[in-house]
Amino acid sequence: MRTRPCACTRPPSAAPPPMRRPAPSPSPPAGPGPSRPRCPPSPRRPAPNPPAARCPSGWTRSPTTARRSRSRCRPSCRRTSPSRSSCATPRPMPPPWQRGGTRAREQGWPLSWASLGQIWWLEPELTYGNAKPFVFTQGHSVCNRSFFPCFDTPAVKCTYSAVVKAPLGVQVLMSATQSTYVEEEGVYHFHMEHPVPAYLVALVAGDLKPADIGPRSRVWAEPCLLPTATNKLSGAVEQWLSAAERLYGPYMWGRYDIVFLPPSFPIVAMENPCLTFIISSILESDEFLVIDVIHEVAHSWFGNAVTNATWEEMWLSEGLATYAQRRITTETYGAAFTCLETAFRLDALHRQMRLLGEDSPVSKLQVKLEPGVNPSHLMNLFTYEKGYCFVYYLSQLCGDPQRFDEFLRAYVERFKFTSVVAQDLLDSFLSFFPELKEQSVDCRAGLEFERWLNATGPPLAEPDLSQGSSLTRPVEALFQLWTAEPLDQAAASASAIDISKWRTFQTALFLDRLLDGSPLPQEVVMSLSKCYSSLLDSMNAEIRIRWLQIVVRNYYYPDLHRVRRFLESQMSRMYTIPLYEDLCTGALKSFALEVFCQTQGRLHPNLRRTIQQILSQGLGPSTEPGSEPGSAGTARDSDSPALLLGDEAPGSTISLRDVNVSA
């Protein structure tokens, strides 16, 4: 999964146990004893039937139940108002197109769409086609407890069936191995035959059309996006699946379909079994699209089939999936490309390390999850890249990547459709390689397995990336050229033509290093703009956003119009939040506020609220040049909406792009 902050809006409350009538007091034992006089019963007026008590959500309860906490509604209570939601967590009305009886059933629990607070409803203007409304769910990590009653933990797996009724013309998809559609009733039937954790149950519905891209794969997208998605992935997914099967055994989920979601999708990609979710914004960035899809393919073995039993050990899914992803890219595109992508990610890991500090507890592979903390907050590059480095180190202990592939194949076969802890992986590793166990490789000084898991800081060992030097050396040389003191402008300008022939990851790595060195001398930024700005304008969004962050962090006003144009064209949080964070840390807050006021109507409410939180930090009439008293830039009051659960706190020195690159 490639991720951004989770879509949860608040910690979901656990459903209370059904109330039980207290047991009657035991009768006194029979036997002789002094008789006690009894008072005659006093005459009483017959009590009228008490009115039914109503909780805030419209559930009707008996007066006895109503005397308990207003937030404790029994699941067996009768729902009297379809427009209200559960009293524990207020939730919004369903959109008009979906009111009036559409129901879902999961494990025999009837649920109205009105009660599904974590479903993302999109009006037509928030889609690419602007034709029909759109809806999707995002269960990772603990959001699906608001979708259906469940044990919302990766330690528990089960099969499921679902029945979904939808209006005519709305295509419904779920992460299931079997599906049928009864057209005359407008009803979809879904069934997942393999046990999965709750977070892997997913639903999407909207104006979606299919196109086959392989013998067991198809893409689903809005009609205006379908040709692009088909052209980019036709034949490639089957190639990646076949490579993964050669390495780790048969693909066990039947089909591998991909659905492209609107820009409001809060993360980059999600590995829902049989139906990978991917944000449409990534379609224009070819190499990033390739890596994101291959990463989700790898999750079919590591994460979906064999799952981490606790959120404190997410590296068991993400670290192994990242290792498998790079084995697949090596088989498909060669070692040089894999080393380049790895260098790009490790560069980001070290950037995050500098921001967080080497003693940050989130840099552990086994992170302690405090009560009340959303597990999505633990999603960071350490989960992936430090986890990958540990898995790579294990492969190096074997001395042969192919032997390690055999071990991983046996590991998947043994634990498929179950959840595991780190000790299961390590015990299996030492059992598969008894010669390594005899050498006590788990206790080597400085590289102990226990230290890998529980020590803070960078990875204890990193992979050898020398096979990618043909691609990384030119990046380093050009970076040194532009950051030399004094700058040789003639030589630097003459080298500008090189970047047009580079791979996307080369250009992104070069710009990331310039971004790390910001603020740069103004003459350097001026020369960079003269050489590269027009060229970068023609490149994909992953490249453009990096150049625009350089523009913002160096206050290069001549290129601010490019920042405005970019933000006016983007509705995705992964391309808007980093720029707004950079704009609001300096003297460009008023510019950010102006752009936001012009574009906020096209943003999803959750994204709009997050940007409002960023803008509210430090904005005030006395501190912001150019701001007016009473404007939206004033500090947030107590009635303003709180941050979404899963969002990073605005004003932090850690950019969302730095913290949540992938998951």
Domain count of the fold of the chain: 3
Residue 450 resides in a domain: yes
Q: What is the bridge-based pairing of β-strands 134-137 and 119-122?
A: antiparallel
Residue 262 resides in a domain: no
Does residue 421 sit in the same domain as residue 506? no
CATH of residue 422's domain is 1.10.390.10
List 189's β-bridge partners, or say none. Answer: 163, 180
Does residue 399 sit in the same domain as residue 475? no
CATH of residue 507's domain is 1.25.40.320
Does residue 502 sit in the same domain as residue 621? yes
Q: What is the bridge-based pairing of β-strands 157-165 and 187-197?
A: antiparallel
Which pTM was predicted?
Answer: 0.79
- Residue 296 falls in the annotated catalytic set: yes
What residues contact 206, with CB distance under 8 A and at least 6 apart? 122, 127, 132, 133, 134, 135, 136, 170, 171, 222
In the set 384, 392, 532, 575, the catalytic residue is 384
Q: Binding site for Zn(2+): which residues?
A: 295, 299, 318
CB 592 within 8 A of CB 584: yes
Instruction: Pick the closest to residue 573 from 476, 486, 660, 496 (CA basis).
Output: 660
The pair of structure tokens assigned to 524 is: 């350097």
Does residue 499 sit in the same domain as residue 354? no
CB crowding 222-238: b at 16 or more within 10 Å, else e: beebbeebbebbeebbb
The pair of structure tokens assigned to 227 is: 């040709």
CB 596 within 8 A of CB 619: no
Instruction: Pick the closest to residue 417 from 496, 333, 301 (CA basis).
Output: 301
Instruction: Pick the closest to residue 163 from 152, 150, 172 (CA basis).
Output: 172
Q: Domain of 143?
A: 77-209
Does residue 204 sit in the same domain as residue 316? no
CB crowding 616-633: b at 16 or more within 10 Å, else e: bbebeeeebeebeeeeeb
Residue 642 resides in a domain: yes
Does residue 380 sit in the same domain as residue 490? no
Residue 39 resides in a domain: no
pLDDT at 315: 97
Does residue 192 sit in the same domain as residue 130? yes
Q: What is the mean pLDDT of each run of 10 residues along the chain (663 residues)?
A: 43 39 44 44 46 35 33 34 33 39 40 55 92 94 91 96 96 98 96 98 98 98 98 98 98 98 93 98 95 99 98 97 99 98 97 93 93 85 97 96 98 98 98 97 96 97 97 94 84 75 96 95 92 90 96 96 95 94 92 95 90 78 32 33 34 36 35
Does residue 458 sit in the same domain as residue 474? no
The pair of structure tokens assigned to 661 is: 């690159």
CB crowding 291-300: b at 16 or more within 10 Å, else e: bbbbbbbbbb
What's the rounded Cα separation, in Å, for the pair 134 and 126? 8
Does residue 420 sit in the same domain as residue 458? yes
Residue 327 resides in a domain: yes
Tell me which of 436, 464, 492 is where a domain ends. 464
Residue 359 resides in a domain: yes
Tell me which of 464, 481, 513 is where a domain ends. 464
Write the Ramachandran bin of 200: left for phi over 0, alpha for psi from -120 to 50, otherwise beta: alpha
Q: What is the bridge-based pairing of β-strands 217-221 and 257-261?
A: parallel
Q: Does a cis peptide bond (omega within 30 degrees of 0) precede residue 519? A: yes
CATH of residue 92's domain is 2.60.40.1730
Residue 275 resides in a domain: no
- Residue 193 falls in the annotated catalytic set: no
What's the rounded Cα separation, in Å, for the pair 121 and 138? 12
Does residue 504 sit in the same domain as residue 529? yes
What's the rounded Cα separation, in Å, for the pair 86 and 75? 10
Q: Binding site: which residues?
A: 295, 299, 318
Residue 517 resides in a domain: yes
In the set 222, 271, 287, 296, the catalytic residue is 296
Tell me which of 209, 244, 278 is where a domain ends. 209
What's the rounded Cα separation, in Å, for the pair 493 and 524? 11
CB crowding 385-424: b at 16 or more within 10 Å, else e: bbbbbbbbbbbeebeeeeebbebbbebbeebbeebbbbeb
What's the rounded Cα separation, in Å, for the pair 6 and 197? 17
Does residue 371 sit in the same domain as residue 497? no
Q: What is the residue whose two structure tokens read 């959001």?
A: 143
Does residue 458 sit in the same domain as residue 590? no
| Residue 461: φ, ψ to 5° | -155, 145
* Displacement of CA 426 from its chain's centroid (Å): 27
